[in-house]
Amino acid sequence: MPPPPRYAAGAACYAALAPEAVRWTPAASPSGRRRCAIADPIRVEAAGGAVLERPALVGCPLAAALAAFTRDVVQPEAARHFGQPVRRLSHLGAWDCRRRTGSLFRMSEHASGRALDLAGFELADGRRISVARDWNEGNAGRFLRAVATGACRYFSIVLTPETDRNHRDHFHLDLGPYRVCD
């Protein structure tokens, strides 16, 4: 599988957000934690035609990737599986100044605003599709698996309930330097 695209940084990234249908506001990088600074920080409220359940503090390149992924993968898969669009994305969090699970030294991509934990989707009719509940359930499970597979074209690392117990209830999506697609 080819690597995901590289997303612009700085002013070029901010300029690219409009065509990607991202609703955002400028944000400051978390202060006092140099190891956990975010380059090009923004607070994302909507991406790719879907509103985030609550705003997420991320770096601009992650917002661009999320918007492209939602537009190109999530929305077409929702139309194919359910005949309607996704209106809301549920997430467990984005920025979090912490180490990688199981590591004493390496920081998580969450610590630099390059990761988001996506937990579910709300369809236009109000139906909720949850990674925790629906991963192995019929049409909803097929939708989730198609979305997870498609995410690999936009993110460096995609972890799912198939990865380990830590990801049983969400997709971990990040733009880190490594390549893993579960």
- For the segment 150-160, the average pLDDT, to the nearest whole number, is 96
pLDDT score of 153: 96
Entry pTM: 0.93
CATH of the domain at 86: 3.30.1380
Task: Name the DSSP letter for residue 71.
Answer: I
Report the number of distinct structural domains present in the chain.
1
pLDDT score of 83: 98
Per the domain annotation, does 98 fall within a domain?
Answer: yes
In 83-126, beta strands by DSSP E? 86-93, 115-123
Please report how many Cα atoms fall inside a 13 Å half-sphere around the Cα of residue 111, on the Cβ side: 14
Higher pLDDT, 14 or 120: 120
Per the domain annotation, does 5 fall within a domain?
Answer: no
Task: Name the DSSP letter for residue 107.
Answer: B
Give the chain's mean pLDDT: 91
Per the domain annotation, does 103 fall within a domain?
Answer: yes
Per the domain annotation, does 49 fall within a domain?
Answer: yes
Q: Which domain holds residue 109?
A: 10-181
